Amino acid sequence: CTKTYTLNSGYTIPAIGLGTFVADDGKESEVGDSVKFALQNGYRHIDAAMYYKNEEDVGRGIRESRVPREDIFVTTKNWNDERDDIEGALNASLARLGLEYLDLYLIHWPVSWKKGTEDVDETLDYITVYKKLQPLVKAGKVRSIGISNYSQPKIEKLLADPEVTIKPSVLQIEAHPLLPQPELFDYLTKENIIVESYSPLGANNAPLLRNETIIEIAEKNGVEPAMLLISWGVQRGAVVLPKSVKEARIISNLNTFTIPEDDFATLNNLANVEGVHRVVNPPWNDFVN
């Protein structure tokens, strides 16, 4: 899949990016190898985060791939307790990644904690912290900025703020056929904000790959369930961020096909039939709405 989108910042983003959050299994160097392998096999988009505690390893993978920096779209995210000095946090992420600039920097969750704690800092609300990203664009350290896990009411308030002069380019959220969030998706499309879908397979152990309807539609079309899910996200116009540390899967997750109209409609309606299922639900999810 070589599809790309043009962000409202004018930059281009590849529709499929490699996710780098790996559940803590002690194999810390795995991600660097996955990043290197992915880049050497056609990926041009890597999605990192300070919270994943592996930016150095991601940076190593980027360097070892020998793919030119300017050909790669690199995202990282500002964690909840890095809000008192966002520029310092960005510099630290850049140093760990070994990069001069980021393609995209995101506010990871719409809640701020005092440094090193999980105590909410009310003075650093989700709009205030977003505004602190704007000077980083002007300084040339970040090409595009955006948000993650913000609800529609929060985004509406953010966009209505007169001091928000650079629109977020993306909203990164959990999105798959059991959590399609169609109203939010349509709202963002109207606002020219791209949706980035994390956990497109349902995160750890990929539970959506065992969903009977998904298996049935995949079989009918002669593809693997993972390809169906990734294709669904791309076909609706989202960025999709599948993650794998297995070489064969990294390669196959970059392949998409065109889902026939009727099957696409069935997938779009799946959560209405089977119920909505959110898989990523940390305690700080309470701050989303």
Residues that bind ligand A2P (CB under 6 A): 19, 199-206, 209, 226, 242-246, 249, 252-253
24 or 262, CB closer to ligand A2P? Answer: 24
Query: Are the C-beta atoms of 62 and 273 separated by less than 8 Å?
Result: no
Q: Least Å distance between CB 244 and ligand A2P? A: 3
Quick one: angle between helices 212-221 and 225-235, nearest 10?
90
Annotated catalytic residues are 52
Query: How far apart, in whole angstroms, are the C-alpha atoms of residue 171 and residue 113?
Result: 21
CA dist., res. 229 & res. 224, Å (int): 9
Alpha helix locations (H) across the chain?
A: 30-40, 55-65, 86-97, 126-131, 134-138, 152-160, 182-190, 212-221, 225-235, 247-252, 261-268, 270-274
- In angstroms, what is the minimal distance from the CB of 34 to ligand A2P? 8
Smallest gap from residue 253 Cβ to ligand A2P (A):
5
Nearer to ligand A2P, 235 or 253 (CB): 253
Nearer to ligand A2P, 133 or 179 (CB): 179
- Confirm or deny that 108 is annotated as ligand binding: yes
What are the residues facing 176 on neighbouring strands?
179
Please report, in range form, the residues annotated as the binding site for substrate: 108
**Residue numbers belonging to the annotated binding site:** 108
